[in-house]
Chain A
Amino acid sequence: MMVPRVAVLFGFGINCDHETKAVFELAGAEAHRIHVNRFISGDSNLAEFDILAVPGGFSFGDHLGSGRLLGNRMRFAMRDALRDFVDAGKPIIGICNGFQVLVKTGLLPGPDAGQSPDFVQRGSLGLNDSGRYEDRWVTLEFDPNSPCIWTKGMTRMTCPVRHGEGKYIMPTPQALEALSTNHQLTVRYVDPSTAVGEGLSDTALPYPLSPNGSMRNVAGICDATGLVFGLMPHPEANYARWLHPDHTRGTAPVGQGNALDSWEGEGLQMFRNAIEYVKQNR
């Protein structure tokens, strides 16, 4: 059986590389931590991988805007390799700082359907309205009609946000509406007291239900193909139920798969989805 190969980027202050590698492996892939410079120098070849993950962290200390400097290195030094990867229909995920990087490189939300990546920045992530970096658990819901391959079959999940710059912004209402129409606003913060599947709302939720003041409570978006996906919350941090704040209360939600002897957390499914997609589309 084919085992998808995942490149987990690291270097320059990325710091969720170990756990991101681990969750891909728990979900059935073969994952490697690869330093950004190995791709730039040609030491490693991105084309030899099936999935690219840009993990969370503080690349270059978030100075000059989160994701900006690492985004520039990738935009200028890995341009062709990244374009070929996307054109080849291979999935990419950016989590937290990785999402910020993908937005700053222009891979998210990306150009209109049918076009190759043009590396033009179309949206942004600004400082949280609170002005504070915070670590807190949030409740997320997914657009069931999103083309995103990473979130198929997922309705609601909980996991932590850990960021200071997570407020998703589009420059015009028209641009935001276009993403919404295309179902690219894949995942959003919701009020946990709503019924499951009925939480999505365009009206801004109060802090801290929306931890950052994002437009339409957006937590993550995908590109027009649904293969490139980024989100501010950390699904990998809820790979096991023992990481859930409610596990001593006996109420930590159970994940969809059966890894970890019924202790699988809700977040693992997202990584399994991409692995299954690669297996089925090779």
Chain B
Amino acid sequence: MRDVRGDVVRRQLHADHGCNVERVRSICGYLIQGETAAEAIAARVDDLFADPIIEHGAANTLFLTTDLFDQTPDIVVTVGFKPGVTDNPGKAATDGYLTLFPEDAGAKISTYTTYAFYGAGEIDPTWLAGTLHNGLIERALVGDSAACQAGMWPALDYPTPPEQVFIQPKTIDLECEDELLEKISFEGLLALNLEEMRAIQAHYRDEEVRALRTTHGISPDAPTDVELECLAQTWSEHCKHKIFASRIHHVDHETGEDTVIDSLFKTHIMTPTHDMQKDVDWLLSVFHDNSGVIAWDDTWSVCMKAETHNSPSALDPYGGAMTGIVGVNRDILGTGLGARPIANTDVFCFGPPNWEGTLPDNLFHPSRVLRGVHAGVRVGGNESGIPTVNGAIVFDDRYIGKPLVYCGTVGIMPRHLPDGRPSHIKTPVAGDIVYMVGGRVGYDGIHGATFSSLELTEESPSSAVQIGDPITQKKMVDMILEARDEGLISCITDNGAGGLSSSIGEMAEYTNGCEIDLATVPLKQAGLSPWEILVSESQERMTVAVRPADQAAFEALADLHEVEATPVATFTSTGMFHVRYGEETVAYLPIEFLHDGVPQLQLESEWTPPHQTPFVTPNEADHNELLSSMLQRPNIASKETWVRQYDHEVIAQTAIKPFVGVERDGPGDAGVIAPLHGDPHGLVISCGIAPRYSDIDAGAMAAAAIDEAVRNAVCVGLDVDKMAGLDNFCWPDPIESVKTPDGRFKLAQLVRANRELERVCRAYRLPCVSGKDSMKNDYGSGKDKISIPPTLLFSLFGDHPDVRNSATSDFKEAGDRIYLVGHSKQELGASELSFMMRERNSDNGIGGNVPLLLNPEQNLATYRQLSSTIHQGWVKTAHDCSEGGLAIALAEMCIGGRIGASVDIDGTGDGDLWARLWGESLGRIVVTVKPEHESDFLATMKGHPTTILGEVTATSVLEMVDGETPLISSDVNELAQAWKGTLDMTGGVA
């Protein structure tokens, strides 16, 4: 029988390293700590640990010594988890073990995997082990050929975590010089600047504060460690978005502007949305909750949130990305009184997977980051039963320094609960009991929020990395949604960054106070100190408030679902964030100071347009060759291998899938779901991202991202009058310092991006309802520093009146008429083509005119008309024209339909031939219409830029000309091969 686990390792060694091994065999190992006799367990191996039909099972042996391994391997590698790291198979095995041996209640199981390699004599065993494990979270033991010959097999011990040393709460003296204040912050990983440390110092000098503290038996004039850690979490860049809230002095050397901006967030994001809220009745909840909520119909509302998990994914791509996706699922569960997650989106930015240059210390090769992040999101999403309906993967050298891992989730909830309460409004009152639900608190995940506000260095702490546990979370989701429908929840939020300190602290604002007892919090291991319990970010936890009368029902439901739910706090109206450890008060902070005490940052911004060598188009070119090469570029190439491993159809609602067309391998522009079974009312989910344009102007980058998200959604049939957006900014550190001498420029990029965001969103009537920023995406310092290109991900969710009238990108039938909606301008700056030409010859530049959105009001009007032609059923084919321009869009449409087309690009705009063929001007969509609907279509599009391109042909050739000039004549099957090859990376199925 085939050993598929071994085959996968063999194929990947070949695909990633060109390394050929004859055969790999695998052994799944279980280390059991318990009271049951070894013979009793041995008798039940086939009931639990091994499949009696397809596997061999044995107890108390390493297997390699048995006659199943009659041939001696060349290398043996055994990989297991480090102590304290989440071991999901081990947890499941323990659960299954207790089904068989219920009396052995204290038993614990840890798992490992052993790989035996044959025909691997030439390979360095240590290198091989390095490819199979991540030293930050896993242990590996290696048996080389000599050890194998000698029968000395590697054997791992049970990973027993070291004893935690309980540290009594202590106080920190802040009556010191500034230098020492900074030192306290730095050494404590607090990530608080001097200004903030001084604000804390000042608080403890206040006589009223001192008097109040004395009466509660807590150190009057100095913070406890619990308080200082709590403030550091609550005031972290991650939680407080201090850069977006800062006061910015902005100077523009291009225009001479010299101005002050009081909070980018309030000015450019919140105010426009609040203005739009006055005009529509469907914006139910914006900004203040865990996700933004819009009314979808009379009975249901939908919400969406996107997060990033960049730093953890850099350290452990698998665990970091998994906690990213299951974490954002909890944001949905924690919206209002609890929404049900129904769709995920994933957008990744990586270094090139085929990177052959050097790698800085402690960074993984981009292909390994891609594999790990993908696996984490795949497992997190699939095991949670949430379809991944939309996403993107973007490549740029600079993401080697920090990969970007954006995870988004859409949720749905009834607008009113059975008891009549609107579900988007939290209703806690003083006296409600606060439960911690789900996982337990451990040493893993301490300092995540502050860590993500620091930059990645070689000394980055491993405790910031965690592995998610989707099944524990799934049980919790099932339980909480039942509790919601039974009316048992008065308030709910996620335990993410900052742990209980943030979750209870934020909810306590509703009632103006809380009292927490940390001694009641269930722990993964004994010995955690009070401050650690308060700020630990251990995963899979929600904080839920329940009225005292509902406690019994709530706890019964938790028991049924085998979910741990423990009362840990009470809401009060004292105005205080009061934390006890048993009887002892360990924190006593005014709610107001905790949430509003952080001083506003004062920052400097200075814009001078960056110099870029202009992109000059070649005098002569073979456009057929360029088309094939462009299709193979990682940014354009098919991501099907990766996307197909996501479940995109669970819940039986996905009407437009990530891949479309006759062979189901053409690109989908946006996801469409019909989440109410039996009802074709739909929801569109799309995204836009254009980081290349930041090399010329981050403002143009932002506008392009928004337009792309809208365009993609229009292509499938969005109702443009009901759409909402999410802004997720990932930036390099924009604060000027010794380490960041160009901070003023990077901040100016942020200013320009925000200004464009406001301008375009107002024009599109597109409110941003939620967002997030990640502002320290750099690696290293000095001349080796790598900063990511400023990157805005714009996610969109909007209404689709009837999914039966949708369009997809694949060409349908010969004779269908092809039109371009929109104009092609002379905008080749920072195009994918220019980047390819620069890679071919470093003398080439990428500068020039970057695509601009000069008249977004006109675009919206055009999109509205085009959408209506889709809703009428006249247009069944539409495709966004973006990376690689019209040539790539048409090639993809031919691939999707496995059919040819004949196209003339003459008259499509005022750009030259190169701009019309390869340019990425915004606002353009290619559509087809059947001849019988052509006049209706043209009548609807009257007054909007609509140019005939040609028609779909009963051939397998894409023909493109510019008037009399032949440009492209390419076989569609060859185009498909070129497009699908680059990112396959599977090593086949043999």
Contacts and interface: CB of A to CB of B under 8 A. Distances in A.
**A-B interaction:** yes
A45 interface: no
Contact of A237 (B11, B93, B649): B649
Interface in A225-262: 234, 236-237, 239-240, 242-243, 245-250, 259-260
Nearest to A120: B52
Given A37-B562, A248-B876, A64 B48 contact: yes
Interface in B341-369: none
Contacts of B655: 242-243, 247
A22 B652 contact: yes
A279 interface: no
A203 to B, nearest CB: 17
Contacts of A129: 2, 4, 7, 989
A137 B475 CA distance: 29
B807 A19 contact: no
Given A63-B92, A69-B96, A250-B876, A236 B674 contact: no
B806 A248 contact: yes
B404 interface: no
Question: In which size bucket is the chain A interface?
Answer: 35 or more
B1 interface: yes
A123 interface: yes
B106 interface: no
Contacts of B475: 11-13
B678 A260 contact: yes
B88 A61 contact: yes
Contact of B678 (A14, A22, A57, A236): A22
Contact of A207 (B48, B678, B810, B989): B989
Interface string B769-810: 000000000000000000000000000000000011011101
Interface stretch (B442-450, B531-539, B657-665): B657-665
Nearest to A172: B53
A61 B467 CA distance: 14
Contacts of B807: 248
B3 to A, nearest CB: 9
Given A12-B475, A72-B48, A243-B649, A60 B95 contact: yes
B471 A12 contact: yes
B175 interface: no
B51 A18 contact: no
B310 interface: no
A134 interface: yes
Given A26-B678, A248-B660, A243 B89 contact: no
B471 A128 contact: no
Contact of A64 (B93, B378, B478): B93
Given A26-B677, A131-B7, A137-B664, A35 B561 contact: yes
Given A61-B383, A63-B89, A243-B652, A13 B660 contact: no
Given A130-B989, A245-B657, A56 B650 contact: yes
A234 B562 contact: no
Interface string B82-109: 0000001101110110011000000000
B631 to A, nearest CB: 22
B654 interface: yes
A273 interface: no
Contacts of A18: 651, 677
A169 B88 contact: no
Contacts of A239: 652, 677
Given A23-B652, A72-B47, A170-B53, 17 more contacts: A12-B474, A12-B475, A14-B385, A18-B651, A43-B560, A61-B88, A64-B92, A76-B100, A126-B51, A129-B2, A135-B645, A135-B646, A135-B648, A135-B649, A234-B649, A240-B680, A248-B656
Interface of A: 10-16, 18-19, 22-23, 26, 35, 37-38, 41, 43, 56-58, 60-65, 68-69, 72-73, 76-77, 121-124, 126-137, 160, 162, 169-171, 207, 213, 234, 236-237, 239-240, 242-243, 245-250, 259-260, 263
The 6 closest A-B pairs by CB, nearest first: A15-B385, A22-B677, A63-B92, A19-B652, A124-B53, A131-B8
Interface of B: 1-2, 4-5, 7-8, 11, 47-49, 51-55, 88-89, 91-93, 95-96, 99-100, 378, 382-385, 470-471, 474-475, 478, 560-562, 644-657, 660, 662, 664, 674, 677-678, 680, 803-804, 806-808, 810, 812, 876-877, 986, 989
